[in-house]
Chain A
Amino acid sequence: EDQVTQSPEALRLQEGESSSLNCSYTVSGLRGLFWYRQDPGKGPEFLFTLYSAGEEKEKERLKATLTKKESFLHITAPKPEDSATYLCAVHLPRGFQKLVFGTGTRLLVSP
């Protein structure tokens, strides 16, 4: 069964305290792994797409990496405005381009 698991469920950081969020998956024939940011009461905002093991992408304080079994979202020197829920999703190799989402990590960055 295709599964996506994110950890931790919630994370509280001090401003400037770097950390990583994890997304592990069990999908055969991964077509892509996506990271989104979601603010309360809003739709998810696209961050990154990763396609193959070893791939890395960066945007400001965020860096996403991918292995054959998991992806990490590294947050370097976070600021309070980075507080949000971070969702990862995998693109299945079949079935109308569906994405399977993890349960998310709620990040709170305190000043």
Chain B
Amino acid sequence: GAVVSQHPSRVICKSGTSVKIECRSLDFQATTMFWYRQFPKQSLMLMATSNEGSKATYEQGVEKDKFLINHASLTLSTLTVTSAHPEDSSFYICSAWGTSVTDTQYFGPGTRLTVL
């Protein structure tokens, strides 16, 4: 099956610093990746769609300058949370809908971000 990895799985940082989260498709190519945010006991909220070689498409209400997305290759997308604040603490999950798999988006294991 299709495997999506994320790194790191958990990160703690100080307020004002930037944090980068990597999302990789391990055994397939992904022209489109997605970044979600999930608060405790809530469902997934789509933040942005990451397209290889082009700019990301952000959902309404998501700050482009705060959540920088780069999709530099067919297997890697990165999310950088800039100048993080405690309210950015959340569970961030990426997914990929590849060109070689069908039927669904496959999700990474998630990254728990805690901003002190």
Which residues of A are in contact with B by a Cβ distance under 8 Å? 32, 34, 36, 41-46, 49, 87, 96-104, 106
The 4 nearest A-B residue pairs measured at CB: A43-B107, A49-B103, A96-B49, A103-B43
Interchain CB contact (< 8 A) of A42 among B1, B95, B103, B110? B110
A82 to B42, CA, bound (A): 19
18 cross-chain CB contacts under 8 A: A32-B104, A43-B93, A43-B107, A44-B44, A44-B93, A45-B107, A46-B107, A49-B104, A87-B43, A96-B51, A96-B57, A97-B49, A98-B46, A99-B34, A99-B46, A101-B43, A101-B46, A102-B43
Sort chain B's interface into a size bin: 20 to 34
Which residues of B are in contact with A by a Cβ distance under 8 Å? 1, 4, 6, 32, 34, 41-44, 46, 49, 51, 57, 91, 93, 95, 97, 103-110, 112
- Other than the known A43-B93, A46-B104, A96-B57, what 14 A-B pairs have Cβ atoms closer than 8 Å? A36-B107, A41-B112, A42-B109, A43-B4, A43-B108, A43-B110, A44-B44, A44-B93, A46-B106, A49-B103, A87-B43, A99-B105, A101-B43, A103-B43
B111 to chain A minimum Cβ distance, whole angstroms, is 10
A48 to B21, CA, bound (A): 28
A100 to chain B minimum Cβ distance, whole angstroms, is 8
- List residues of chain A with CB within 8 A of the CB of B6: 43
